[in-house]
A = this chain, B = another copy of it.
Amino acid sequence: MDAGLFTANNIWMMLATALVFFMHTGFAFLEIGLTRQKNTINILFKNIFIITGGLLLYYAFGFNLMYPGFEDGDMGILKFAGFGIAAPEGGMTPDYADGGYTWWTDFLFQGMFAATAATIVSGAVAERIKIGSFMIFTIIYVGLVYPIVGAWKWGGGFLDSWGFYDFAGSTLVHSVGGWAALVAVALLGSRIGKFGKDGKPKAIPGHSIPMATAGVLILWLGWFGFNGGSVLSADPELTSLVLVTTSLAAAAGGFGAMITSTILYKNLDLTMFLNGILGGLVGITAGADLMSPNEAVIIGLLAGIIIVLGVALVDKLKLDDPVGAIAVHLICGMWGTLAVGIFGSMAGIDQFMTQLYGVLIVGAFCVVTSGIILGILKATIGIRVSKEEEMEGLDIHEHGMDAYADFRMNQH
């Protein structure tokens, strides 16, 4: 392969890596923006822990666990390639990955993905989880569960053999995070004051909507790398198609949610608009390379409608998810994965059923593993902070710091 093409491909993948890294800023902004100021430091600490710890774990063994180079159908769990990463022969040449990128780039791009699953959980459990327990959960979930599931498809495991398709991770990243979020929220219980004595949900307003909005825009930007980099080269046709379907689905998702929520609730709800954008992004992620622009708009639009209904459903089930992570990442993740069987160049009833099996198997595995991890933590060191701590805020109790020392606050 020509040096110019190899170099160009690798540049694209490195910049996609940078953009996926930047998504962690977006997640952090979104989460703190939609929660109360008294828990801001705690959320930021969790996010910084996830990105640093996630990368180190992926370096220590996740990367080798996820891409074990095993045979078809072999689950690879026991084929650890050892701690630390060592470049394979030819890992820096076009022979390594059809000239798409080097071994180093491969590691870093995948490492940035790995941390995302835990970040999704972080938003759902915000404002009441014990930080020690969350850190232990993150280490196990990012270090083991995520790469094992990833290996089933992207590592060439049994889901891949079955023909399951998940371009950039509607299921393998977003639902993996979303299922754990669901389990964690169920085990944790709702925040004090979230549901009235009549069982009706009460809004607990976020403390900085500008930050939440910036978070969503940064996430959209990051998705240029998340989906664009998942082409695994800079192939002009495929990368540019993926960016078009991704952005159109985001725009349509936002519009779908905005219109749906305006009709249902007679209110121009910015938070729904924003979650609709995220829903559209998650929804297109499984098939961003398979869809026409028209199909991307339809998938996004439906994701936007699903978000509004999904948020209402989560509320109805008395699950307290402060940032809407379950609706965005789990429900739209499932929707996007199934949409591969309905729209685009792979559509068909067989594909749909394969997608459904994949969704269910991954779901079962994630529910069981996160249930075991969190269940053990709950039974031992506990997963929920004390009532006093929750009322006064986790920042003062766990970190001895105030996020906005100079500002006067309304305590609530």
Contacts and interface: CB of A to CB of B under 8 A. Distances in A.
Contact of A18 (B6, B19, B210): B19
A48 B274 contact: yes
Contacts of A407: 37, 207, 404, 407-410
Interface stretch (A176-184, A242-250, A308-316, A327-335): A242-250
A236 B10 CA distance: 6
A240 B105 contact: yes
Given A3-B2, A213-B44, A241 B406 contact: no
A192 interface: no
Contacts of A12: 7, 11
Q: How large is the interface on A (under 10, 10 to 19, 20 to 34, 35 or more residues)?
A: 35 or more
Contacts of A38: 406
Given A7-B236, A224-B18, A407-B410, A255 B53 contact: yes
Contact of A3 (B5, B14, B51): B5
16 contacts: A3-B5, A7-B234, A8-B8, A10-B240, A11-B12, A24-B217, A37-B406, A37-B407, A48-B213, A48-B274, A102-B236, A205-B401, A208-B404, A270-B401, A407-B409, A408-B410
Task: Across the A-B interface, give the 8 residue pairs with the lowest CB-CB distance, nearest first.
Answer: A4-B4, A104-B240, A205-B405, A4-B5, A92-B237, A52-B251, A207-B406, A10-B236
Interface of A: 2-12, 14-15, 17-19, 21-22, 24-25, 28-29, 32, 36-38, 40-41, 44-45, 47-49, 51-53, 55-56, 59, 84-85, 92, 101-105, 107-108, 111, 131, 205-211, 213-214, 217-218, 220-221, 224, 228, 234-237, 239-241, 243-244, 247-248, 250-252, 254-255, 258, 267-271, 273-274, 277, 293-294, 297, 398-410, 412
